[in-house]
Amino acid sequence: MKQYFTQIENSQNYIASINELLVEVMQYQKSDRTQYLNSLLLPYDQYSQLLLDTMKYLLTQIKTMQKKSEDSFNLKEKKSNHFLYFLTIIFSCIILYVWYWSNKQISKPINKLIQSAIEVERGHAFEVVNHGPKEVIELSNHLKKLTQSLSYQAQHDSLTQVYNRREFERRLNNLISKIKNGDSKKGSVLCYIDLDQFKIINDSCGHIAGDNVLIQTSKIIQNKVRSDDILGRLGGDEFALLLKECSFESATCICQDILYEINSRPYEWFGQLFKLSASIGITYLSGPNLKMNEALNAADTACMVAKQAGRNKIHIFGLNDIQLANKRNEMLRLNELKLALAENRFKLYKQDIVPFVLTKNQKIHFEVLIRMISPTGNILTPNFFLPLAEQYQMGTDIDEWVINNIIDWFEQNSDYIEFIGICSVNLSGQSLNRVDFKDFLIQKLKKCQLPCEKICFEITETAAIQDVKIAQNFIEELNQIGCKFALDDFGCGASSFSYLKNLPVDYIKIDGSFVKNILSNQVDLATVKSIVEVAKTIGKKTIAEYVENEAIANNIKSIGVDYAQGWCYSKPVPIDDLLKNTYQQNNIYSFERQP
């Protein structure tokens, strides 16, 4: 047993040595490894030889198996490559077929859908897709309904369902292009329709009632015109009607039917009955120089002339129409007035009001006037802009400008306040009826450095008698803070004297139309005398306007008028001249400017 253990131990040592030798053999080239290994193992026992032979045999078997495996793999690889090539061809054919099918069944219908959408953007009708997948056809039908709905909403007024302003102007422009190109056989007529005093319904019954009236009005007009005529709502209560290839005579008859139907139909809203009317302006569309904006302006201007002529009328535009020329000039002046207010292009003036009976330490009494500065720097008198301000509800805007600026002037020149007796400021009739203006005025006056006792507001007799109660309340509230009042242009009203006892005014300004002709007109002289007599009876002071010369001044002084205002004593001058030594004319009184 010991012998076998020894051999095993020796073999283990041999194997360990062989492992070391194998490591060393790996460092040689392949061709030298076997020979070298053989030479190394020969010195060892038969176990080493056996191991060597076994390794050689195994190496040979491994090489044989490796070669067979390589041959088999190459064959399978070739078969696999042929199979993959065949599959690639079949797959490519499938791809080509799917592409062809999808292009025919999906891409073409979708492209057609896109093209239809583009045509809609250009203003053409939507064309549905009839051939293609079910989903694409359904989508096309839904898009058609959607585009029709959106197109209708974009072209029509949401309330009356007639064309809106944008669509009406587009169709009008298209017709004008045809007329200019000679494609229209006959001329056409453009009508501008505006409801009269529509604001009354909105203010008294609310906008829902007003909307109902507009809907009914649009239906009346539609029932009176032909199917190919074009009706549009331009905004508010304004409609435009385009009568295609229509003579003036036919257009006038159609418009008369429209006016009659609107005026004869009563409008009822929760028990309240209203009777409406409309004004229509007509212009003829013809000629190579025709323009859309000019046509609309002409019809609009003709409509305004119809309103001024008494409403419920038709006015036809004519190039030689004096009324239209005046109206266009009026609109230009109105726009200039609005710009002047926005750009602060006004200037304060003043004119003296002179007492016939002087008192000790007589102080200055003057009226504040206003002038407008044109864009070129010219000074424009009130006749240019005040009537427009009254007509277009801008009187209060003018009044606020005057109040703000006269107060600012006194704050900058407070040293001269002690020399001022009365400063008169005009107020429009519109301001009397506005509570917000009254509150504004009281608030400004309480902060003003000029004492309220030195301020006199002039209101016209016409404005005061429109609503005596409102005028009386206005005057009384301003009286409470010390302000005085003068009734301007007195005598031009039909029942002037009956209102005097109800209006707590301090001065009565006799209308200048009676004063300027007092030397030649006995009726005017008698009127002035009667005004002075009544004024003295009720304890009011009188002021005569338009005192242009000494003869008139002497006459009214002899009658008993207390004050005179006119060019005989002073012309209107910038308010800054109040600081100069200008109060010596005719030895009435003098004012020494303080350093």
List pLDDT tens digits, range 154-203. 888 889 999 999 999 999 998 888 888 877 767 789 999 999 888 888 87
Instruction: Report yes or no: 225 and 254 within 8 Å, Cβ to Cβ.
Output: yes
Please choose, from the candidates 247, 267, 252, the residue with its C-alpha nearest in 3D space to the C-alpha of residue 195.
267
99, two tokens: 């592409």
What is the percent of the chain with per-residue pLDDT over 90, rounded to a whole number?
Answer: 32
Q: Is the pLDDT of residue 47 over 60?
A: no
Given this model, what pLDDT does residue 339 score? 93
Same structural domain for residues 340 and 265? no
Residue 65 within a domain: yes
User: What's the alpha-carbon Rg for the chain, to the nearest Å?
Assistant: 52
Q: The domain spanning residue 278 has which CATH number?
A: 3.30.70.270
Residue 105 within a domain: no
Same structural domain for residues 352 and 491? yes
Please choose, from the candidates 240, 224, 246, the residue with its C-alpha nearest in 3D space to the C-alpha of residue 162.
240
What is the percent of the chain with per-residue pLDDT over 70, rounded to a whole number?
Answer: 76
Instruction: Report yes or no: 406 and 423 within 8 Å, Cβ to Cβ.
Output: yes
Q: Is the pLDDT of residue 385 over 50?
A: yes
Domain stops at, among 40, 62, 79:
79
Residue 135 within a domain: no
Same structural domain for residues 417 and 558? yes
Q: The domain spanning residue 368 has which CATH number?
A: 3.20.20.450
Given this model, what pLDDT does residue 373 score? 94
Given this model, what pLDDT does residue 132 score? 65
b/e map 375-407, b = 16+ CB within 10 Å: eeeeebebebbbebbbeeebbbbbbbbbbebbb
Mean pLDDT of the region 465-490: 88
Helix 382-391 and helix 395-412, axial crossing angle in degrees, nearest 10: 130
Report the 3 state secondary structure along 304-320.
Answer: HHHHHCCCCCEEECCCC
Please choose, from the candidates 245, 241, 246, the residue with its C-alpha nearest in 3D space to the C-alpha of residue 259.
241
Same structural domain for residues 301 and 160? yes
- 137 against 339, higher pLDDT: 339
Given this model, what pLDDT does residue 425 score? 95
Q: Could you tell me the pLDDT band of residue 140, with boundaries at 50, 70 and 90?
A: low
Same structural domain for residues 381 and 468? yes
Same structural domain for residues 494 and 579? yes
Q: Could you tell me the pLDDT band of residue 133, with boundaries at 50, 70 and 90?
A: low
* Pairwise CA distance, residues 528 & 137, whole Å: 91
Q: Could you tell me the pLDDT band of residue 323, with boundaries at 50, 70 and 90?
A: low
- 315 against 584, higher pLDDT: 315
Given this model, what pLDDT does residue 141 score? 73
Mean pLDDT of the region 252-261: 92
Q: Which of 134-143, 147-156, 375-384 is modeled with the greatest confidence?
A: 375-384
Q: How far is CA 391 from CA 388, 395, 428, 430, in A?
A: 5, 8, 11, 10
Q: Could you tell me the pLDDT band of residue 585, with boundaries at 50, 70 and 90?
A: very low
Distance, C-alpha 266 to centroid of its chain: 34
Q: Could you tell me the pLDDT band of residue 64, with boundaries at 50, 70 and 90?
A: confident
Same structural domain for residues 349 and 431? yes
Same structural domain for residues 280 and 360? no
**Model confidence over 445-456: pLDDT tens digits?**
988 888 999 999
474, two tokens: 């206005």
Domain stops at, among 255, 287, 319:
319
Residue 434 within a domain: yes
Mean pLDDT of the region 239-264: 90
Residue 120 within a domain: no
Q: Which residues pair with 425 in a beta bridge?
A: 368, 457
Residue 476 within a domain: yes
Q: Could you tell me the pLDDT band of residue 593, with boundaries at 50, 70 and 90?
A: very low
Instruction: Report yes or no: 201 and 213 within 8 Å, Cβ to Cβ.
Output: yes
Please choose, from the candidates 380, 271, 300, the residue with its C-alpha nearest in 3D space to the C-alpha of residue 333.
380
Write down the mean pLDDT value for the chain. 81
Q: Is the pLDDT of residue 365 over 60?
A: yes
Q: How far is CA 250 from CA 225, 256, 302, in A?
A: 11, 10, 18
Q: Which of 172-186, 316-330, 431-445 has the lowest average pLDDT?
A: 316-330
How many domains is the chain partitioned into structurally?
Answer: 3
Given this model, what pLDDT does residue 522 score? 92
Q: Which of 77-86, 171-180, 428-437, 513-522 has the lowest average pLDDT?
A: 77-86
Residue 595 within a domain: no
Q: How far is CA 213 from CA 281, 314, 408, 500, 587, in A?
A: 21, 21, 48, 43, 67
Q: Is the pLDDT of residue 589 over 60?
A: no
Mean pLDDT of the region 453-479: 86
Give the list of residues 6+ apart from residue 191 with CB closer than 8 angstroms, or none.
Answer: 240, 241, 242, 243, 251, 255, 280, 281, 282, 299
221, two tokens: 């007009």
Please choose, from the candidates 423, 368, 435, 448, the residue with its C-alpha nearest in 3D space to the C-alpha of residue 396.
435
Mean pLDDT of the region 40-53: 58
Same structural domain for residues 209 and 265? yes
Q: Could you tell me the pLDDT band of residue 246, with boundaries at 50, 70 and 90?
A: confident
Given this model, what pLDDT does residue 595 score? 29
Q: Is 359 helix (H, G, I), strand (E, B) or coil?
A: coil
* Pairwise CA distance, residues 515 & 544, whole Å: 7
Look up the domain containing 490 and give its range. Answer: 332-587
Q: Which of 135-144, 301-310, 537-546 is modeled with the greatest confidence?
A: 537-546
b/e map 300-338, b = 16+ CB within 10 Å: bbbbbbbbbeebbbbbbbeeebebbeebeebbebbebbe
Q: How far is CA 565 from CA 110, 424, 539, 553, 570, in A?
A: 86, 12, 20, 9, 8
63, two tokens: 């090489």
Residue 121 within a domain: no
Q: Is the pLDDT of residue 266 over 90?
A: no
Helix 2-25 and helix 30-41, axial crossing angle in degrees, nearest 10: 160
Same structural domain for residues 251 and 346? no
Domain stops at, among 79, 109, 125:
79
Instruction: Report yes or no: 331 and 305 within 8 Å, Cβ to Cβ.
Output: no
CA dihedral 575, 456, 351, 559 (to 10 degrees): -170
Instruction: Report yes or no: 457 and 428 within 8 Å, Cβ to Cβ.
Output: no
| End-to-end Cα, the chain, rounded Å | 152
Q: Is the pLDDT of residue 82 over 80?
A: no
Given this model, what pLDDT does residue 590 score? 42
Given this model, what pLDDT does residue 99 score? 62
Same structural domain for residues 172 and 261? yes
